[in-house]
Each structure stands twice: as C-alpha cells, then as structure tokens.
Structure 1
Amino acid sequence: MSSIELKGVEKWFGDVQVIKGVDLSIDEGEFIIFVGPSGCGKSTLLRTIAGLEECSRGEILVGGRAVTAEPPAQRGLAMVFQSYALYPHMNVRDNMGFGLKTAGKPKAEIEQKVNEAAAALKLESYLDRRPKELSGGQRQRVAIGRSIVRNPTAFLFDEPLSNLDAALRVEMRYEIAKLHRELATTMIYVTHDQVEAMTLADRIVVLRDGIIEQIGSPRQLYERPDNLFVAQFIGSPKMNIVPCRTEGESYVLEGGRGGALTQKGEAAHVGVRPENIEIGAEGEGQCDGLVDIVEYLGADTHLLVDCAGLGQIGVRLGGDVEIKPGDRVGLIFDGSRLHFFDKDGQALPRD
C-alpha cells in the first residue's frame, strides 16, 4: 500500500482547462471518494492519476516517488472501470489471470493469486464460466479480482457500480467496503451516488469545475459544509437554503419571523436540513406554507411545502405522520442545527 500526493495538478484539453491546480494528499490505506456534478473533472482527475491522461502541469507522487512522466503500467496502480472490460472468450479464471500471464509470471503463481482473489470475492464456483454466464455484480467482482491479483499499491475505481441495478449496487457496496477492510489498500473511488460516498469513504473530495470545494469525512461535510455548493450537494434530500437578513444577533426571514443567529457574521442565507424541521400549526415556527407534495416511503415521509416568498422547503418526517396535500402548516426549524452563509455563499464561522 502507498500514499498518493498531487501537487498543483492541471489538465488541459486544448484551450480548455478541466483540472485547475489540484493539491491533495491521500494517506496509505485511506479510502478517498471523488464526488461532484457531471463535468466537474472527477473522472479526468482519476485517469490522470492512473496515467491514462497526461498531466498537463504539476506533479503526481505514489509512495513518495514521482510518477508524473511514467506510463500507467509502471505506476503500480490498478484501475476498475464502469464497463467491466472483460474478455468475452475467456473464462473467469483466465480473465483474472491475464495481466499476470502477459507479464510472464509463472503458472503456479498465477493460479495461487487467482484462487486467493476468487476466495476473497466469493467467485470460486464461477472460475470456469465466461462473462456472458455471469450477472452484472459477478462481472464487476471479476473485474475487481483482475486488479487484486496484481497486488497494486492502490486501487482506482471509476463509477464501478453505475451499470448495476439498485439491489446489486447495495450488495457490491458491501463487498467493496469489506474488501477495503481486509486488504487495507489505498483506494480512490469516483461516484455520483451520495449513498456510496457517505457509506464508503474515509474522506470525500467534493469537486466543482475542476477545483476542490471541500475535503473531509462524510460527517464533517454533512454537518460543517464550507459553502452553499457543498451544503446542497452533500445530503439527500438536499439542504434547504432560505434567504434571510441579519438584525443584531438574530436572523430574519421574509415575513418578519426568524430566530437566533448562532454563527458569527452577516448572514444572507440560512440552511436547514429536511430532518431538522418539525411541523406545527400555522403561525408557529419560522414560516408558514401549503403542503404541496407528500411522499410516503415507509420509515420516512417527505414533504414539499410551498412557503410563498421563501420558495419550496423540503421536510423529512417519520413514516407515521398523518398529513396530506393542501394542509397549511407552520415550519419549526431546529435552532441548534442551522447553517448560516454570507452573501458570497461562504459558511459563517462558528464558535
């Protein structure tokens, strides 16, 4: 296993700059996830680390060794793609061992490593099958197994679960988490899926337009976002952002209601997550609204409440709540769980 360090990494495609001076240090054995909207540069950054894209400027180090100018095969990294990229005419055993075979490794060594990887991924009974005889989840495990046998210094995953259905995504998420725990190898993982990022990562790197907006643990990003972009990108349903003004040590919403300003500075926006809002009678809490949509999900009920000049506010309640579209309600914000942002969208400092 190895640490990975990026120093001022840039990537240009002609006159278009996709990665804009990224600095990042990844510790040995750490599970890092890149997230961000489509086009933010997360897959390009991963491919640049792998050597599949040339680094236009900056430096990439693996285990303290500069690899910026080295081809992919010499970096000691293993890439797992979204598309599996298995050879259809080969069985699982040969697919997993193909890289070692082309590297000239002894047959006994290849067999041993393939068997060990198959045992770790529960593929022993599928070694003689061809890819067309496997499910999507099994094919992805074969692709991961092909990387494991190379004993890489780090794994790079490029949206590996995107082609799977919901049930298989959950199963493979468990498998990848378990694999990381057992191998204790550095992993960098690209995804657009909030659940994958929050459940798998030691740290999440949030990217937008080729720059890093914030780095932190899932809890840090959820509870202490640095700006409006991270606040609304991390979390599902997303955080509600409501315009406000500051009056002394209070914040005031349109209509004259508000509460205590619990952060320092001039607040222009207050953020409140859907689970930090309670429903009361009209006139109670910070604002009133008309229930527009009710989504019953069993354990949870999600509401979309039209609050006139404040816009629509999402509310997450327990599944046993009796409420229907057309009800008028008051929304009560949990004052200890609010987030405040200035006019530029930056989080106000906390005590």
Structure 2
Amino acid sequence: MGAISLQSVEKWFGEVQVIKGIDLEIGDGEFVVFVGPSGCGKSTLLRMIGGLEEISRGALLIDGDDRTADPPSKRGLTMVFQSYALYPHMSVRDNMGFSLKTAGAPKAEIEAKVNHAAEVLKLEPYLDRRPKALSGGQRQRVAIGRSIVRDPTAFLFDEPLSNLDAALRVEMRYEIAKLHKALGRTMIYVTHDQVEAMTLADRIVVLEFGVIAQVGTPRELYENPANLFVAEFIGSPKMNILDVGSAGLRLAPHPGAAKVGIRPEHMHVGAQGEGMLDGTVDVMEYLGADTYLIVDAGSLGQVTVRTDGDTAIREGDRIGLIAPEERLRFFGANGKAV
C-alpha cells in the first residue's frame, strides 16, 4: 500500500512561507509528477514527504496513518536523487545491498533482493563492476536499484535524469515507465522538464510559488488549462495567448474573456484576410517532420504555428491564421479559465 495524503501542508523558513497550504491525495500505485518553474517549491514539497524537510504546519498521512512527525527511516519511503551518490570503492552489487547490510539483513535475503533488482533493471552483467566503469545511465539505474531492494511503500524521485544527456534521458524515461508498470508502486517524481512530466505521469501537479495551480492528467492540463500560468507552462512551444478585443483580431464575442489561447498545432495557414488574424512569417524553425512558423502579428505580438516539415511557406510571406472555435481557450482578467 502506498496512498499518500497531504493535508493543509505548509513550510516556513523563518518568516518566509514557501509551501502555502497544499492539499493533495495520491493513490496507491499512482505515478504523480510535480512540475513547475525554479523556486516554485516542488523539491521542497518532495523532501517534506520524504522527511528530509520538517513540515511546519499540516499533516502527512501514509496509508491513513499520520507520519508527520516520523523520521525518514520510519516512513517506508525511498528517494532517488539527481546525483547518483554511489560508493566508488564498492561494486554495483555491494552498492545496491548496502542499506540492507547496515540494517543487519541476512546475507541470503540481501542476495535475493539485489538479484531481483538487477534483473528488473537489466544490471546483471554489471554487478561486479565499480561505478567508474559504468555509463551515466547505468549509474542512475544502480541508484534506482538501491531503492528497489529496500522494498519501499513509495519511490520519491528528485530530478533523477538532470545529469544525463538527451539520448540517455529518453532511454531512462522509458526504463522508469517500465519500472512503474513492473513494480506497481506509488511514485512521486519532481522535474522541470515537461516532456518527462507529460510522458511519465498518471497525474501532473503544477506548482506556482508554493501553491497548486492545477492537478490533472497530462491530457486534461494540455487541453483544458485552469489558468494562464498552466496554459503557458504546459506545452512546448507554449500556447499562444492574445488579448481579446485587440485591433486585428477577428473573433466572435466571448463574455468575460480578456485573453484567448490557442495551441500552435491548432492554427492553420490560410490566405491573408482569412481566419482570426493576419501576419508576416518572420522566422521558420525546421525540425524535420514539423516546421514552426514564428509569425509577426503586429500589435498582437508573435504567434507560433506548427505546420508540416515540407511546407511551401517561406519567410516574409503574408498569411492569415485560422483556428477552429472549439480549439480556443478563454481566460478572464484574473487569469482563470472562462
């Protein structure tokens, strides 16, 4: 069991409040990702769950039991950090089994659990190597294996892939997704990389300056952001946000709306005078299957459009941009979705 409940959780450093009353229910076996800009409190919140930071106010429940005052060792959780923190003089086998050895576990139990973790993570050929003989991705797998052998209630990941290059990040993302399916354990994962968040999470928690901006599935957050912050943070490139009522914006009236948002892939190129606005193609970013058009829309600012990689459009072309009504998202003057 690995259900985790945060009830009105706050964190204060002196007179500075960094976590401002978080309420969150994480189901047993769920993969939840905390995402947000630097300084939003995502790592602090994770460390509070793990017991590495004290909870100033509020309560932490694990499987219904209040664990707010428990030290990390009593919570049944395990953390995987950005740095691998492996013992360089020990083999992979000894690194993975070290916590069990210090806890006085029988040798046969340690061996069985290390072998199981190595099998899950495809580390069997490397058990007798030392960390310096491993790649970055292999070292991170060893760090995860060290957590698996402890048989935790839940895994806490604090930006575990940040030190890896782009190719290894993709590979390890796949490995962590497979690990979650294989183990079925609760996982809480902190990242600033929204691709990791979108591809790994059952639900994403978007944090903004110590509060939850929105919680939902990746699709819910992408298609129906609750406010402007989520709309602009989730998605790459981000959602285009335009002022309703601006000169040059051809749009049917929408009561209470101050801003309108449209994703780059939902805008289609037409002839000048067609659709919701006109502009000049300022820059083209060719990415193979796709091309991003950066369109100068005058007083409306820049608009990004995602189109085919083999588009016939060229820089300097005057175009109209068409957007289906059902793809538009409206926001009030307070930034909340209308």
TM-score range, shorter chain: over 0.9
Deviation at 1:259, TM superposition (A): 3.3
**Other-structure match for 1:49:** 49
Say which of 305, 308, 327 aligns to 2:298: 308
AA in 2 matched with 1:49: I
Equivalent residues of 1:206, 1:212 under 8 A apart: yes
Matches within 5 A, 1:13-32: 13-32=13-32
1:255 pairs with 2:248: yes
Q: Counterparts of 2:106 and 2:271 in 1: how far apart (Å)?
A: 75
Equivalent residues of 1:300, 1:317 under 8 A apart: yes
**CA distance change for structure 1 residues 277 and 260 in 2, over 3 Å: closer, same or farther?**
farther
**Other-structure match for 1:325:** 315
Q: Secondary structure at the match of 2:204?
A: strand
Deviation at 1:256, TM superposition (A): 5.6
Equivalent residues of 1:2, 1:27 under 8 A apart: yes
- Provide the TM-score with structure 1 as the length reference: 0.95
**Other-structure match for 2:146:** 146
Say which of 326, 330, 338 aligns to 1:340: 330
Q: Counterparts of 2:230 and 2:167 in 1: how far apart (Å)?
A: 28
The ranges of structure 1 where at least 4 consecutive aligned residues each deviate by more than 2 angstroms after the TM superposition are none
Q: Secondary structure at the match of 1:258?
A: coil
User: What is the identity percentage for the equivalent residue pairs of Structure 1 and Structure 2?
Assistant: 71
**Other-structure match for 1:66:** 66
**Other-structure match for 1:177:** 177
Structure 1: gaps of 5 or more residues? 246-252
Deviation at 1:15, TM superposition (A): 1.4
**Other-structure match for 2:263:** 273
**Other-structure match for 1:161:** 161
Deviation at 1:285, TM superposition (A): 1.1
Equivalent residues of 2:249, 2:277 under 8 A apart: no
Q: Counterparts of 1:256 and 1:88 in 2: how far apart (Å)?
A: 61
AA in 2 matched with 1:56: S
Matches within 5 A, 1:233-244: 233-244=233-244
**Other-structure match for 1:250:** none
Deviation at 1:325, TM superposition (A): 1.6
Q: Counterparts of 1:189 and 1:347 in 2: how far apart (Å)?
A: 27
Q: Counterparts of 1:45 and 1:329 in 2: how far apart (Å)?
A: 47
Q: Counterparts of 1:171 and 1:260 in 2: how far apart (Å)?
A: 47
Equivalent residues of 1:259, 1:335 under 8 A apart: no
Deviation at 1:222, TM superposition (A): 0.6
1:6 pairs with 2:2: no
**CA RMSD for the aligned pairs?**
0.9
Q: Deviations over 1:73-126 (max 9, x none)?
A: 110001000001111111100000000000000001000000000000000000
Q: Counterparts of 1:43 and 1:155 in 2: how far apart (Å)?
A: 14
Q: Counterparts of 1:260 and 1:177 in 2: how far apart (Å)?
A: 44
**Other-structure match for 2:123:** 123
Q: Deviations over 1:239-272 (max 9, x none)?
A: 0000013xxxxxxx423622364xxx31111100
Q: Counterparts of 2:249 and 2:22 in 1: how far apart (Å)?
A: 43
Deviation at 1:334, TM superposition (A): 1.9
Equivalent residues of 2:248, 2:300 under 8 A apart: no
AA in 2 matched with 1:203: R
Q: Counterparts of 2:59 and 2:6 in 1: how far apart (Å)?
A: 6
Q: Counterparts of 2:250 and 2:202 in 1: how far apart (Å)?
A: 39
Q: Secondary structure at the match of 2:252?
A: strand
Q: Secondary structure at the match of 1:214?
A: strand
Q: Counterparts of 2:323 and 2:27 in 1: how far apart (Å)?
A: 39
Deviation at 1:290, TM superposition (A): 1.1
Q: Counterparts of 2:219 and 2:260 in 1: how far apart (Å)?
A: 20
